[in-house]
Amino acid sequence: MYPLLFRVVLTRLDPEFAHHAAMVVIRVLGVPPFSWVTRAITSPSNEQQVEALGLTFDSPLGVAAGFDKNAVGVRGLAALGFGHVEVGTITAIAQEGNPKPRLFRLVLDRAVINRMGFNNAGADAAARRLEKLRRRRPKTVIGVNIGKSRVVEVEHATADYVASATRLAPLADYLAVNVSSPNTPGLRGLQAVETLAPLLRAVKAAAGSTPLLVKIAPDLPDEEIVAIARLAVSEGLDGIIAHNTTISREGLKTDADTVEAAGAGGLSGAPLRERAMEVLRVVRDAVPSEFCVISVGGVETAADVRERLDAGATLVQGYTAFLYRGPLWARQIDRGLRRGTARA
185 prior amide bond cis, ω within 30: no
Residue 233 CB neighbour total at 10 angstroms: 16
**Cβ–Cβ < 8 Å for 85, 77:** yes
Q: Does residue 181 have an active-site annotation?
A: yes
Strands 50-52 and 55-57: antiparallel
Catalytic residue among 181, 209, 234, 248: 181
Annotate the chain with three-state secondary structure: CHHHHHHHCHHHCCHHHHHHHHHHHHHHHCCCCHHHHHHHHHCCCHHHCEEECCEEECCCEEECCCCCCCCCCHHHHHHCCCCEEEEEEEECCCECCCCCCCEEEEHHHCEEEECCCCCECCHHHHHHHHHHHHHHCCCCEEEEEEECCCCCCHHHHHHHHHHHHHHHHHHCCEEEEECCCCCCCCHHHHHCHHHHHHHHHHHHHHHCCCCEEEEECCCCCHHHHHHHHHHHHHCCCCEEEECCCECCCCCCCCCHHHHHHHCCCEEEEHHHHHHHHHHHHHHHHHCCCCCEEEEECCCCCHHHHHHHHHCCCCEEEECHHHHHHCCCHHHHHHHHHHHHHHHC
What residues are labeled active site?
181
